[in-house]
Amino acid sequence: MASYIIRRTLLMVVTLIGLSIVIFAMLRLVPGNIADILFDAAGFIDPAEKAQLEEELGLADPIPVQYWNWIVGLLQGDLGFSYVSELPTIDEIAPRLPITAKLAVLALFFSVIFGLPLGVISAVNQNSKLDYFLRVISLSGLSLPSFWLALLILMAFVSWFGSMPIYTNPPDNLWDELLLYSVPAAAVGFRSSALIMRLTRSSMLEVLRQDYIRTAKAKGASDNSVNYGHALSNAVLPVITIIGIEAAFLIGGLIVTETVFNIPGVARFLVEAIQWRDYPIVQNLVMFIGLVVVVTNFLVDLLYVALDPRIKYE
């Protein structure tokens, strides 16, 4: 067990180094840099002034030097300065993290709380009217563009309440915060819950057909104990994998939702930073997201191993 964890930790480091190279290279492959963007706002490009600016920001250095400078800084906890605001990168990222984290956790919470039980109900009652109904609902969850759903929600709020749940000022108390975040979280979580429900259903069905379930039934175990005792605990396995992956996917859904609801989280900020070619922000933020995802996957794998006796630590 201990050696497994050490090995996995080393692998995580390798992954993160790989990620740093990938994102660094990808950003430099994208045409245009911050100097182009800054001159865009001035409506022209002056080659001499632009060269001066690139020099100032270290963009004129050879690519390996730029990479080395970034990594050395990162290891020393120095994330550099945002090209756009000229403020320390950490001061730009840190205040936005909790906002997105709250949104993501809430969305994940919604999706599991609805997706998992409904998936089980649907599988247990396979081909019944209830099953068809739940499947149609979950399919529509996967069929609606989430920003469209978000827009419709906003419009409904304006029409019915004359107000709308968009972020203008930081919320004052926990209740306001919950209220503010639950609508966008539901808009994102709807899709995820549909996915989890579908997956729970199909893997439940899969498990229910396995020999040992038939054996258990043949031995006279009650339906409930088979469904919830044997089947669910086994069916949960792929579902957990999906939840782990979905956590990373959520960031994507949040980009659009944070834009529609105007929530100043990191997801939207990342897109802005890509569009502005704000390398220090994008690189460090992507590394942070990478770290979160890698650690989540690690935990998911540990859980996977713990739940499935057939898989050994390798």
Nearest distance from C-beta of residue 238 to other proteins, angstroms: 7
Shorter beta-carbon distance to other proteins: residue 11 or 113: 11
Nearest distance from C-beta of residue 248 to other proteins, angstroms: 5
Nearest distance from C-beta of residue 198 to other proteins, angstroms: 7
Decide: 197 and 138 in contact? Cβ < 8 Å. yes
- Full DSSP string of the chain: -HHHHHHHHHHHHHHHHHHHHHHHHHHHHSS--HHHHHHHHHTS--HHHHHHHHHHHTTTS-HHHHHHHHHHHHHTT---B-TTT-SBHHHHHGGGHHHHHHHHHHHHHHHHHHHHHHHHHHHHTTTSHHHHHHHHHHHHHHHS-HHHHHHHHHHHHHHHHS-----SS--SSHHHHHHHHHHHHHHHHHHHHHHHHHHHHHHHHHHHTSHHHHHHHHTT--HHIIIIIIIHHHHHHHHHHHHHHHHHHHHHHHHHHHHHTT---HHHHHHHHHHTT-HHHHHHHHHHHHHHHHHHHHHHHHHHHHH-TTS---
Shorter beta-carbon distance to other proteins: residue 78 or 308: 308
Cα–Cα distance for residue pair 253/210, rounded to 1 Å: 35
Shorter beta-carbon distance to other proteins: residue 61 or 272: 272
Shorter beta-carbon distance to other proteins: residue 168 or 224: 168
Shorter beta-carbon distance to other proteins: residue 106 or 256: 256
Nearest distance from C-beta of residue 145 to other proteins, angstroms: 5
Nearest distance from C-beta of residue 132 to other proteins, angstroms: 7
Which residues lie across from 119 on neighbouring strands? none
Nearest distance from C-beta of residue 219 to other proteins, angstroms: 18
Shorter beta-carbon distance to other proteins: residue 12 or 71: 12
Nearest distance from C-beta of residue 136 to other proteins, angstroms: 8
